[in-house]
Amino acid sequence: MNIHPALSLALLALTLALASALVALPAARWPRALRWASLPLLGLSGVAASGAGLWALVEGLDLGLVLPLGLPWLPWHLQLDALAGFFLALIGILVTAAGIYGPAYVRGLESGRESLAALGGFSGLFVAGMLLVVLAADAFVFMVAWELMSLASYFLVAFHHDNPANRRAAFLYLLMAHVGGLAILLGFGVLAAFAGGFEFELLRGAALSTPWASLCFALVLLGFGMKAGLVPLHAWLPEAHPVAPSHISALMSGAMLKVAVYGFVRVVFDLIGQFHWQWGVVMLAVGSLSALTGVLFAMMQSDLKRLLAYSSVENLGIIFIALGLAVLFMATGHPTLAALAFVAALYHAINHALFKGLLFLGAGAVLHSTHERDLEQMGGLLRRMPWTGLFFLVGCVAISALPPLNGFVSEWLTFQAALQAWQLDSGVLRSLIPIVSAVLALTGALVAATFVKVYGVAFLGQARSRHVRRARTVPLGMRWGQGLLALFCVLLGVLPTQVIALLDPVAVAVVGTGLPQAAAGGWLWLTPVSAETASYSAPLSILLLALIAGAAILWARRGRVRRVRRCDPWDCGLTPPTPRMQYSAAAFAQPIRRVFALAFAIDERKPAATDTRPRYRLRIADRAWSLLYVPLAQAVESAARRVVLLQSGNVRVYLGWTLATLLVLLWIIS
């Protein structure tokens, strides 16, 4: 059987991921096996996946393969097309960075009580599950791979299982993952009922009526939205992502959430094959709520990894805003505008994978060096960890959507798509999209404020604790892993026209058209709609920034006095500044907390005048817990107590229930 080299490379990536899981087993007795064999194999798996994905994008491939696995009457169908290639490359880049970063990071875990064999084994299975989801070409393989990814990541979330909070977070994650998986399975069931089979090729031909198509859309939005962490189904994400090892947190936030985006795009844009403007409105509402809620809760956090997890909710909201615009434009007969919004969604998906992976790796470096996740205990890390500080700054600028880095390009493209709302015939839709744009603009401003807080409190000023004062530069491998992602953040910001040229085959395959006018002004200028409407040149913006910086340096040197007398500044007779005088993370976020107080469940206790040891306590909870999850948990517990009444212990009662069940089933069948 002749297999295309690109598909062979994808299968090699899958094989290497499984091999890394197998090779990690000796780590139970020989911890170095994880660093010397398993993680390098995982990194090679990422390189192979990136190569296969880029090959599929450049060549515009659409390859299929049937493997004699699975059930006798249902073999495995695999496919490598442009859409799968894009997400394969995205996963591969993150896995490569994690493979470089991981060996030095896990060295600090070798003295702990946790099983390194479990860490390496489930990491390999986790990556294999993500790759297989993207390559699956039938619903059976897709669900098998989806469950493999979910179960493996559950054990990674529960890796530090000595902490009860970590076990609780892992259980919540597993529960939500299975509820979401059930919704996805039911969505595939709706398609398969009309298609007569489980292969994607058959599912594409399913003739669904509008109500059945809408039911399928609702089910996959629920299932994939739960895995993506969309509000109000997001509560598991800030609990689970922070407690995993940091390179796994980077994979979960940067890659696994994008696998959920891939599944949604595959089913809605490819398999269902029809679009309704109501679907777009629902996606815009959910995306806007997720973006604003995510950034507000991120702003309030003092735990660095928890803050980054909430930020992922915000970024997935932006991706679904762009996808909602694409559905809306497709439903109203504007395929070119739909292609613009779809490309913006894909661009932001890979951007988020890069800068969020970079930030989680940076948070892991801080945790590795200081054993601290609390921003209130940090400060002055830039002097002690200069390379991590530099790479973390790149991630902060990128996630804040500031030019010339990559985050700006994707959000600018999303705004350009939203600004074309005037071409819609419906006045309601023309009024709705500007509101979504305003929410997106507010979100962007809050994101910038959030990461000014993060960088300023963590890396600038003075150290607030002994652990931070003793911080040292992390090992070379951890710096290289961060540097690789930082380099990609710069490249995707400086060369947007080349990136869009790579994304065009995906848009053509999924939406039916691409953005040929994006490079109409040459590689220097990005013109997503037309040169008269809007254009952006990242290389020229870099040149302008360099000229301004050079002029500022020359002016400073020109006005410098040769002899400079250095002394302590006059402090009005007060004591010298101490770390306690610095702005804290909670104080920085206080104005935003006051403005948006209704969005939070705030427990703020100020010290009384009579307290001998005054203490200030602030707890901010998510209202989704009290409004959605707590009533649901109470309802489940109440139903379980009623079901327990059936267990009387009497055999005759059990036989009676069995007979009643058989009679009901016979009546239904007849």
Mean per-residue pLDDT for 641-668? 81
Torsion of CA 31, 35, 36, 39, to 10 degrees: 130
pLDDT at 251: 94
List, as own/partner pairs, every contact residues 624-632 make where C-beta atoms lie below 8 angstroms and the sequence separation is at least 24, other chains included.
Answer: 624/231, 624/232, 624/234, 624/235, 625/235, 625/601, 626/601, 627/232, 628/232, 628/235, 629/235
Secondary structure of residue 406 in the 3-state scheme = helix
What pLDDT, in 10s, does the model give residues 506-535? Answer: 999 998 888 888 777 776 777 887 777 777
Q: What is the mean pLDDT of the chain?
A: 86
Cβ atoms within 10 Å of 287's Cβ, excluding its own: 27
Residue 78 tokens, joined: 């695999």
What pLDDT, in 10s, does the model give residues 559-581? Answer: 555 566 677 666 676 666 777 77
What pLDDT, in 10s, does the model give residues 219-241? Answer: 999 999 999 989 888 888 888 88
The confidence band for 113, taking pLDDT boundaries of 50, 70 and 90, is confident
The CA distance from 42 to 34, in Å, is: 10
Secondary structure of residue 381 in the 3-state scheme = helix
The CA distance from 515 to 286, in Å, is: 27
Mean per-residue pLDDT for 485-494? 92
End-to-end CA distance of the chain: 49
What pLDDT, in 10s, does the model give residues 31-90? Answer: 788 888 888 999 999 999 999 999 999 988 888 888 888 777 788 899 999 999 999 999
Of 403 and 261, the structure prediction assigns the larger pLDDT to 261
Of 478 and 602, the structure prediction assigns the larger pLDDT to 478
* List of E strands, 167-209: none
pLDDT at 562: 58
- Is the pLDDT confidence value at 551 over 90? no
pLDDT at 141: 93
- Is the pLDDT confidence value at 555 over 90? no
What percentage of the chain exceeds 90 in pLDDT? Answer: 45
Cβ atoms within 10 Å of 588's Cβ, excluding its own: 20
- Is the pLDDT confidence value at 458 over 60? yes
The CA distance from 200 to 221, in Å, is: 18
List, as own/partner pairs, every contact residues 440-443 make where C-beta atoms lie below 8 angstroms and the sequence separation is at least 24, other chains included.
Answer: 440/288, 440/291, 440/318, 440/321, 440/411, 440/414, 440/415, 441/415, 442/292, 443/291, 443/292, 443/295, 443/314, 443/317, 443/318
pLDDT at 480: 94
Mean per-residue pLDDT for 320-346? 93
46-60, 104-118, 608-622: which has the minimum mean pLDDT? 608-622
pLDDT at 636: 74
Q: What is the DSSP letter of 268?
A: I
Which of 113-117, 352-356, 555-559 has the highest average model confidence (pLDDT)?
352-356
Of 486 and 273, the structure prediction assigns the larger pLDDT to 486
* CA 8 distance to own-chain centroid: 28
Single out the residue of 131, 126, 5 nearest to residue 78, CA to CA.
Answer: 131
Mean per-residue pLDDT for 587-616? 73
Q: What is the DSSP letter of 617?
A: E
**What sign results for the dihedral spanned by CA atoms 40, 45, 48, 54?**
negative
Single out the residue of 400, 264, 282 nearest to residue 345, CA to CA.
Answer: 264
List, as own/partner pairs, every contact residues 196-203 make where C-beta atoms lie below 8 angstroms and the sequence separation is at least 24, other chains included.
Answer: 198/74, 198/138, 198/139, 198/140, 199/77, 199/137, 199/138, 200/77, 200/79, 200/137, 200/138, 200/139, 200/266, 200/270, 200/271, 201/137, 203/139, 203/271
Q: How many residues does the chain have?
A: 670
Of 365 and 560, the structure prediction assigns the larger pLDDT to 365
What pLDDT, in 10s, does the model give residues 160-208? Answer: 888 888 888 888 888 888 889 999 999 999 999 888 888 888 898 888 8
pLDDT at 641: 81
**What sign results for the dihedral spanned by CA atoms 661, 665, 667, 668?**
positive
131-135, 273-277, 646-650, 662-666: which has the minimum mean pLDDT? 646-650
The confidence band for 613, taking pLDDT boundaries of 50, 70 and 90, is low
Residue 514 tokens, joined: 């691409």
The CA distance from 186 to 464, in Å, is: 52
**Greatest Cα pair distance in the chain:** 102
CB of 67 closer than 8 Å to CB of 98 = no
Single out the residue of 321, 402, 403, 297 nearest to residue 624, CA to CA.
Answer: 297
Q: Per-residue DSSP letters for 216-246? A: HHHHHHHHHHHHHT-TTS-TTHHHHGGGS-H
Q: What share of the chain is helix, strand, coil (3-state, %, to 5)?
A: 75, 5, 20
- Is the pLDDT confidence value at 630 over 60? yes
What single-letter amino acid sits at 437?
Answer: S
**Whose structure tokens read 């959030």?**
450
Residue 226 tokens, joined: 């739960």
pLDDT at 7: 92
